[in-house]
Chains A and B, each alone.
Chain A
Amino acid sequence: MRTLRRTALLTSIVALAAAPLAGCGDDEPTSGEGGTTATNVTLKVSAATSLKTAMEDFGGGFTAARSSFSFAGSDELAAQIRQGVRPDVYAAASTKLPDALHAEGLLEEPVEFATNSLIVAVPAKGSKVATFDDLGDAGVKLAIGSDTVPVGSYTRTVLGRLPDATRKAIEGNVRSEEPNVSGVVGKLTQGAVDAGFVYASDVHAAGDALRVVDIPDELEPTVRYGAAVVKDAPHPEQARAFLDALKGPDGQFALQAAGLGPKP
């Protein structure tokens, strides 16, 4: 009797734990639904964190293959490819990383498919930062990307264009260097920092939680997104179709709906 009850308890615990997993499984095939082409192919796309909303939207409507995404800092994804990981498509928040991987013979010719703007984001309510000039004020807490991830490298470009004293004041207020842009957004939405350097699309995605503080025009970096088919990709044909569609009306619509800019 006792054993029986224990078995029942165990079974229900396992079932409970497994339920969300089962749910995930059910969702998966729907991403390629509605297409006329065979969708037995699953395209693996390694994409920058800042592309999450846009890519998931676009991938849902892409019919030549089912697409499965891996989102992380563009630098991490590049490192994975250098370590021998072979996704079908690599989409980065810079052109520098795809160009470098192409030069190393790891990617086919990269294409530019989107732009974005670097901005300063502040929590919508009660931030100490109202303008760009406030970033160096005493007591202001900032989060930026680490220098290896594109968002962090753009941030350093901006800071590098400032007079020394201003730059040092702002750098002195940095409390966290995050491995990717969603780390910066998380610190902002949790109220852990007063401001952070992120992309315009991140503020778009965060809804009402964040507000934009513009970076003065003369400091603003050019943010271009490059993507390429990975050499020896398992599904090169579908990968090329994916990139074409990304540059086409569907892709551009999804990107702009997510707050990114059109291809340059």
Chain B
Amino acid sequence: MSAGATARRAAFVAALVVALTVVVAFLTFPVVAIFVRSSPGALLDGLRDPSAQDALRLSLVCTSIAAAIIVVVGTPAAWLLATRRFRGRSVVITLVELPLVMPPAVAGIGLLAAFGPQGIVGRPLGDLGLQPVLTTAGVVTALVFVAAPFYLRQAQAAFEAVDRRWLDASRTLGAGELRTWLRVAIPVARGGLITGLALAWGRALGEFGATLMFAGSFRDITQTAPLAIYERFATDFDGALGLSAVLVSLSAAVLLTVRIVGRGAVVGGVRG
């Protein structure tokens, strides 16, 4: 190797290191700022506010319900998408993934047009007394809408990665389709499923725009933690920072879980 080539390679590596440094600094800085902008005491004081605790509790309840709905309905749906080839499959996949790239305001408008009091489905729902707008059910509706694609996408990929031979072996040994799915496919794909669930939950935890438009903001009913942060930032910046710190910590915990579970899944053979 000539001296020129070595120098070029060193310059290239240096450029890569600079790029990564910039990326890390830029992405980490706001997160760090949340924690250092005010004293830990002020952060905790912000959290002692009962309405802040209500908001956090409501967030945990709503995201948990949304996650449960997403798993129960999304897992079989993802299995179908992963294992069957049918006409219009790619159209279905595109439709399912669309909320991933949809602006939250568009999601809010869409939810209102569909499930709002004057919406296509919302009007009959209202006649039945089941109108979700401005209710906790409305929050869950918004969360499921924006978060479900994260799970579906990940679950589909995880199911697609399951080795066909294991499924065939299970069937050869006399297990039915349902049993094969429950006892072989799901356990093998669990790493991917949990990753998808964590991502969906994280997205639901941060949901703001669609919730505000569709469910409104009312303490203990529809005011989730992001809405409470928004309400505070004008008058109580420390309080907003305190709640933000909790959400950042929760999100970090979720990501960490995903990493650990993901590593376990490789050992468990999902990549096999």
**Residues in A lying within 8 Å of B, measured CB to CB:** 73, 75-76, 78-79, 83, 141, 143, 146, 148-149, 174-179, 183, 186-187, 190-193
Contact = CB atoms under 8 A, between A and B. Distances in A.
A160 B264 CA distance: 60
Given A190-B117, A190-B133, A179 B112 contact: no
B216 interface: yes
B193 interface: no
A193 B212 contact: no
B217 A146 contact: yes
B222 A176 contact: yes
Contacts of B235: 75, 79, 148
A225 to B, nearest CB: 18
Interface string B219-240: 1011100000011011101000
A76 B218 contact: no
Given A75-B235, A79-B233, A192 B217 contact: no
A79 B237 contact: yes
Nearest to A83: B237
A92 to B, nearest CB: 12
Contact of B216 (A76, A148, A178): A178
- Which of A148, A178, A192 gathers the greatest number of chain B CB atoms within 10 Å? A192
A257 B194 CA distance: 57
B235 to A, nearest CB: 5
Contacts of A192: 116-117, 133-134, 216
Interface in B187-244: 212-213, 216-219, 221-223, 230-231, 233-235, 237
Contacts of A73: 234
Given A176-B134, A176-B217, 5 more contacts: A141-B134, A177-B217, A186-B213, A192-B116, A193-B134
B117 A183 contact: no
Interface residues of B: mostly helix, strand, loop or mixed?
Answer: loop
Interface string B122-137: 0000000000011000
Given A175-B134, A192-B133, A192-B134, A187 B216 contact: yes
Contacts of A76: 233-234
Contacts of A75: 234-235
Contacts of B234: 73, 75-76, 78-79, 148-149
Nearest to A143: B216
Nearest to A141: B134
Closest 5 interchain pairs by CB? A176-B216, A75-B234, A191-B117, A79-B234, A175-B134
A53 to B, nearest CB: 20
A143 B217 CA distance: 9
Interface string B59-77: 0000000000000000000
Interface in B96-120: 112, 116-118
A184 B231 CA distance: 15
A145 to B, nearest CB: 10
A38 to B, nearest CB: 36
A151 B23 CA distance: 42
Given A75-B234, A193-B134, A179 B116 contact: no
A149 B233 CA distance: 12
Contacts of B133: 190, 192
Nearest to A79: B234
Nearest to B218: A176
Contacts of B221: 175
Contacts of A174: 218
Contacts of A175: 134, 216, 218, 221
B217 A148 contact: no
Interface string B28-45: 000000000000000000
Contact of B217 (A79, A179, A190): A179
A196 B178 CA distance: 52
Contact of B231 (A143, A146, A191): A146
A190 B116 contact: yes
9 contacts: A174-B218, A176-B134, A176-B216, A177-B218, A177-B223, A179-B217, A179-B231, A183-B212, A191-B116
B237 A148 contact: no
A78 B112 CA distance: 31
A155 to B, nearest CB: 14
Contacts of B231: 146, 148, 177, 179
B55 to A, nearest CB: 12
Contacts of A177: 216-219, 223, 231
A50 B121 CA distance: 32
A236 to B, nearest CB: 25
A242 B233 CA distance: 29
A86 B166 CA distance: 64
Contacts of B223: 177
Contacts of B112: 190
B230 A179 contact: yes
Nearest to B138: A192
